[in-house]
Amino acid sequence: MKRFYTFLASLLLIVSCSDTNSSTYTEADALEFLERIEKEDETLGPIASSAYWIGSNFITYDSQKIVSDFGMRLQLLSLERAREAALFNNSELSDSTRRKLDLIKGSFVMPSPYDSELAKELSNISTELEAMYGTGTHCFEDGECYDLEAFENVIDNSRDTDELLRAWTGWREIGKPMKEKYLRMVEIGNQGAEDLGYSGLLDLWFSKYDMPVEEFQNETERVWQELKPLYDSLQCHVKNKLTEYYGPEIMPGDGTIPAHILGNMWGQSWINIYDLVYEPAGEQSAIDLTAIINERNLDEIEMVEIAENFFLSLGFDELSDTFWDRSLFVKPQDRDVVCHASAWNLDSNEDLRIKMCIEKNSEDFTTIHHELGHIFYYQAYNHLPSVFEGGANDGFHEAVGDLLALSITPDYLERIGFISKEEADAANSDPIALLMQQALDGVVGVPWTLMLDRWRGGVFEGTTSNQELNSSWWDLRKEYQGITSPAQRPLDAFDPGAKYHIPGNTPYTRYYLARIMQYQFHEALCKKIGFQGPLHECSIYNSKIAGESLRDMLSLGQSVPWQDAFEKITGTRSLSGTSMLNYYMPLKEWLDEQNDGLECGWE
């Protein structure tokens, strides 16, 4: 093992001493380099993916040791590749070859410096943080112990404010021991990013969007400002309904909403308090998808099969036997697993899987459609060279899954036999019921997905001090979401650690992009199939025209700039909040009527 580390370190030293400004390297040299990488990926990719799969599904000391070792090895190998790709910086190359080399150089999330010891330390920290989250448990003084699933069950369903606060603060205890490890990881990661030629992690992360970092951040903020009036109207309505239910004494008094009463552990979706904020016009107008799933006695596999059938109706190929044999659908009773839903591309079309502890409810029914969106995206671009096997940008992958959720309309549920035509007609007669349900997730998630990487960016750049880690988190949540902590947070709190994507190092801007792009995709596809009517009633289910347009875009992978792929479906190269505003127009008008005369906004 030591020889392996020494060998890689020597390679890195040789590469780092090379003349990166040399223009003597040719297209043929670059193609030879890329061909070697392709062969290495064919061998190493499936092995490494299997190691990570085991690490997420069998959380033990030994599995984490294996994952840590693989992570360190792959980190060093990727760094070696990046430095070698930089040798061609000044060479005259074709556009395709240049893009491949740029993707190799910018393929990191948390790179280590060119040092085997630091690479090993970084890999160990990353593995430890993810395991701390996956096995996170908090025990109270009365001896009762809860994991995330148990805490979420309280937050999602309880209406007892004392019980909610206990669960909310209890889960955040797991973040405290992560703080120093997280800061050390960022310190090493920033050094690694600088060694790759970036100014730091923030520059590296946002270099993937085919435009200057500052311009991209300005674009995301511009779109948010377009959508903010819609969110503000929703926040005002929800705040006043919760005040009516719980009483004014529980509200902070500054126009914000305390985070523990929003029906979600992180306040990123408010769908679980739907019954508190909207009363359907008639008994039959609201569709209870959770009740339907349980009344039909659907098991977890059948829920996945229904989602697969949606994609088959669009003309996609059916999933292989290995998908059904090797995926994780139900939480095991005999071991710890990372239950966070995810899709896996272990070996191109030969081994595609999802990992998910499916619950028989509406939320997971939608999540399954989302995860299969990733799977069928993999399926569409797995014919490409490995370096191009990815979304046009990281938001595309999320947007494809989210796109399907917009097509889970009453008409779609009728077509698959979940409800009768009468029930579908009743639901369509009260569009606010449907739009409110969707907005409590789709609209609510927009500022949350934007602020999370705004916070992380401050940490990466050092503009947020170590003492301000937690207070800056809540400052941004208040600014963007109008949400505040329900209790004074202790000085050693590290509440960001209670969200998987922080210790798991998953960039979050992708989810923001997905929120925006899914509505642009949906509106464009609905126009292509000739749909006439309110945008929220359109479903692309069973449309081969929509499927062909979607596959044409998906099959490009990341072989072209994301704007090119985006234009394939939408006909435009720019992000816009207009499609989302068009989708929720009836709701916005209704909310403004409800809020008339009320005090809205927050300090």
Q: What is the three-class DSSP state of 148?
A: helix
pLDDT tens digit sequence for 419-466:
999 989 888 888 998 899 899 999 999 999 999 999 999 999 999 999
Amino acid symbol at 339: C
CB 581 within 8 A of CB 519: no
Residues linked to residue 458 through DSSP beta bridges, in sequence order: none
Pairing of β 257-258 and β 483-484: parallel
pLDDT given at position 388 = 93
CB 368 within 8 A of CB 356: yes
- pLDDT above 50: residue 65: yes
- pLDDT above 50: residue 20: no
CB 316 within 8 A of CB 540: no
pLDDT given at position 307 = 95
| Most confident region among 103-117, 165-179, 352-366, 416-430 by mean pLDDT | 165-179
| Most confident region among 14-28, 197-211, 488-502 by mean pLDDT | 488-502
What's the rounded mean pLDDT across residues 389-411? 90
Distance between CA 160 and CA 246 in Å, rounded? 9
**Domain, as residue range, for 192:** 2-131+180-213
pLDDT given at position 282 = 59
3-state secondary structure 540-560: CCCCHHHHHHHHHHHCCCCCC
Per-residue b or e along 64-87, where b marks 16 or more CB atoms closer than 10 Å to that residue's CB = bebbbbbbbbbbbbbbbbbbbbbb
Cα maximum dimension of the chain: 75
Using alpha carbons, select from 520, 506, 511 the residue that is nearest to residue 582. 520
Distance between CA 39 and CA 255 in Å, rounded? 58
With cut-offs at 50, 70 and 90, classify the pLDDT of residue 283.
Answer: low
Q: Is residue 312 part of a domain?
A: no
Pairing of β 352-355 and β 342-345: antiparallel
Token pair recorded at residue 570 = 């939408």
Cβ-based neighbour number of residue 463 at 10 Å: 11
**CA angle centred on 480, ends 168 and 269, rounded to 5°:** 45
Q: What percent of the chain has pLDDT over 70?
A: 95
Distance between CA 373 and CA 403 in Å, rounded? 9
pLDDT tens digit sequence for 229-247:
999 999 999 999 999 999 9
Pairing of β 257-258 and β 145-147: unpaired
pLDDT given at position 3 = 38
C-alpha Rg value of the chain to the nearest Å: 24
- pLDDT above 70: residue 582: yes
pLDDT given at position 19 = 44
Q: Is residue 71 part of a domain?
A: yes
Q: Is residue 75 part of a domain?
A: yes
Amino acid symbol at 314: L
What's the rounded mean pLDDT across residues 554-563? 95
Q: Is residue 48 part of a domain?
A: yes
Number of folded domains that form the chain: 1
Amino acid symbol at 557: G
How many whole angstroms from its chain centre is CA 349?
A: 23
Token pair recorded at residue 215 = 């311009």
pLDDT tens digit sequence for 79-125:
888 888 888 888 899 999 999 998 988 778 898 887 889 988 998 99
Q: Is residue 522 flagged as an active site residue?
A: no
pLDDT given at position 429 = 86
- pTM for the model stands at 0.85
Distance between CA 476 and CA 361 in Å, rounded? 31
pLDDT given at position 349 = 63
Q: Is residue 571 part of a domain?
A: no
Among the residues of 443-508, which ranges form H helices? Answer: 445-461, 469-481
CB 494 within 8 A of CB 175: yes
pLDDT given at position 6 = 37
Q: Is residue 450 part of a domain?
A: no
Q: Is residue 267 part of a domain?
A: no
Dihedral pair phi/psi, residue 417, rounded to 5°? 85, 15
pLDDT given at position 4 = 38
What's the rounded mean pLDDT across residues 297-321? 95
Of residues 260, 501, 522, 536, which has the active-site annotation? 501
Dihedral pair phi/psi, residue 247, rounded to 5°? 95, 150
Cβ-based neighbour number of residue 430 at 10 Å: 17
CB 113 within 8 A of CB 195: yes
pLDDT given at position 347 = 82
Enumerate residues 6+ apart whose C-beta is below 8 A from 115.
9
Of residues 84, 308, 371, 398, which has the active-site annotation? 371
- pLDDT above 50: residue 8: no
With cut-offs at 50, 70 and 90, classify the pLDDT of residue 284.
Answer: low
pLDDT tens digit sequence for 52-61:
888 888 888 8
Enumerate residues 6+ apart whose C-beta is below 8 A from 205.
109, 453, 460, 507, 509
pLDDT given at position 1 = 40
Cα–Cα distances in Å, from 87 out to 29, 76, 195, 458? 10, 17, 14, 32
Q: Is residue 501 flagged as an active site residue?
A: yes
Token pair recorded at residue 568 = 């394939």
521 burial via Cβ count (<10 Å: 0-12, 13-18, 19+): buried
Token pair recorded at residue 138 = 């908090």
Q: Is residue 523 part of a domain?
A: no
Distance between CA 573 and CA 562 in Å, rounded? 9
Cβ-based neighbour number of residue 145 at 10 Å: 11
Token pair recorded at residue 448 = 């949350």
pLDDT given at position 22 = 47
CB 144 within 8 A of CB 179: no
CB 232 within 8 A of CB 240: no
Cβ-based neighbour number of residue 551 at 10 Å: 18
Using alpha carbons, select from 558, 505, 225, 524 the residue that is nearest to residue 395. 558
With cut-offs at 50, 70 and 90, classify the pLDDT of residue 14.
Answer: very low
